[in-house]
Amino acid sequence: MIEEMERDERVFLMGEEVGHYQGAYKVSEGMLEKFGERRVIDTPIAEGGFAGVGVGAAMVGLRPIIEFMTWNFSAVAFDQILNNAAKIRQMSGGQFTCPIVFRGPNASARQVGSQHSHAMEHFYASIPGVKVVAPAFPADAKGLMKAAIRDDNPVLFMESETLYSVKGEVPDDLDVIPIGEANVVREGTDCSIITYSRMTHVAIEAAAALEKDGISVEIVDLRSLRPLDEAAIVQSVAKTHRCVVVHEGWPYGGVGAEIADRIQRLAFDSLDAPILRVAQLDVPMPYNAKLEQLCMPQPDRVIAAVKRVVSRGKRESGDS
């Protein structure tokens, strides 16, 4: 954000505690001192209000970054995202664009209760007119954030609350990572795991355990949920002939269901087994620590799903 604010004076940050407190998770640390209160703006606890201010600012030529302290609170601003940010270009016949980034921590943290544990990407990825991004690694977070800020469309940037402490290499010369391009983070031959955000790390842990049992897993980190990299998904499934979709939200009508539908439409002839999904249990998130872990997708559930699809008969070498 700092690099893009230095690059373009139209970019500003607005949200709860982003300034003097330096962000609820210290994401905006040092930004108020560097850019001042004109470009790093503390707001009241009124998500619908400051989201609407951001949409208006975007319509008249600025490039706002709107931080929700948690995406759970964005429900209060849902009307601004659904009916204004997503639709203003179409409703105005292209007279207005809405170059705005909505960002903040998403999904479960640790014992923050059911009202603070929603994986909200499922709601927003269904809306035409917005882009939805959910990175798993530091370099992807940086490159995709730069792309989001420069985009002339509304971009919803979902930052996993439990990934803020994850460290990784970020090249000094890293610029934009295009929105809509998945990344194969692990090559494999026996089963594809399609996933994103924190679940990419769960999948990596499961794949390491499966390797000890002689099962080779390929992991596709989507990075972007809307637009979705169909080509990368189909290419991986065509290679492995099996697929497990892993996501943190509820199973009913979620991102996993959308991915499974696209695979069966676009790569049905490549499948040797049914597509399985591993998701959060279909209940509100408990506060109790053990029950919370039980609800969330864990490596053991991913391992069981992969073993189930791999147990179906393998194709003979040379079969298509």
Q: Tally DSSP H helices, then E strands, for the chain.
A: 12, 12
Catalytic residue among 16, 67, 116, 159: 116
Q: What are phi and psi of 142, to 5 degrees?
A: -70, -50
Give the integer Cα–Cα distance in Å for 302 and 199: 10
The yes-or-no answer on residue 159 being catalytic is no
- Peptide bond before 227: cis, by omega within 30 degrees of 0? yes
Q: What stretches of the chain adopt beta strand conformation (E)?
A: 11-15, 40-42, 63-67, 101-106, 131-133, 155-160, 183-186, 191-195, 217-221, 224-226, 243-246, 276-278
Identify the active-site residue in 3, 33, 37, 47.
47
- Listed in sequence order, the residues at least 6 apart from 216 whose beta carbon sits closer than 8 Å to its beta carbon are 188, 189, 190, 191, 210
* Cβ-Cβ contacts under 8 Å for 1 (sequence gap 6 or more): 11, 13, 27, 28, 31, 65, 145, 149
Contact (CB, 8 A) for 188 and 216: yes
Note whether 41 and 12 are within 8 A (CB).
yes
The first and second tokens of residue 198, run together, are 């924190």
Task: Check if 201 is active-site.
Answer: no
CA proximity to 273, closest of 319, 312, 316, 219: 312
Asked if 309 contacts 213 with a C-beta cutoff of 8 angstroms, the reply is: no
Q: Catalytic residues, which ones?
A: 47, 116
